[in-house]
Amino acid sequence: MTNISIYLTEEQQKKLDTLVKKGMAQNLPTGAKRNRSTIIGLLIEQEINRLEITEMVADAIEIDGLNLGWSEEEEQCQIIDMEQFG
C-alpha cells in the first residue's frame, strides 16, 4: 500500500469523520475497517466507476448520433422478417 498525505480543511475533516462514523458504513466491503483510509479508497473507487459510466453513456450517445443505419445483410434480414411475420 502506498502512503499519501492529503490536506483537508477542518470542515472537510469533520465531513470525512462523519462518513467514517455513519455515512458510508453500509457501502464498506465485509470485514473492512471503518477508518479514513478505507472511506477515501471507497470514494476513489466510486468516482472511477462514475467516470467510466459517464464515458460509456457519452460514447453510446455519440454512436447513436452517427446514425450508421443497417448493413445490407441486416436490411435483407429485416425484409425476410417482414415477409415471414408481417
- The percentage of the chain sitting over the pLDDT mark of 70, rounded to a whole number, equals 94
Q: Do residues 14 and 22 make contact, with C-beta atoms less than 8 angstroms apart?
A: no
What is the domain partition of the chain in residue ranges? 10-85
Cα–Cα distance between 13 and 72 in angstroms, integer? 60
**What number of other Cβ atoms are within 10 A of residue 19's Cβ?**
19
Query: Which grid coordinates belong to 47?
Result: 468516482
Q: What is the pLDDT of residues 35-58, one digit of tens each?
A: 888 889 889 999 999 999 999 999
Cα–Cα distance between 7 and 10 in angstroms, integer? 10
Residues 9-15, mean pLDDT to the nearest whole number: 96
Query: Which grid coordinates belong to 73?
Result: 445483410
- Give the 3-state secondary structure of residue 64: helix
What's the pLDDT at 14? 94
- Record the pTM: 0.64
Q: What is the pLDDT of residues 57-69, one digit of tens each?
A: 999 888 877 877 7
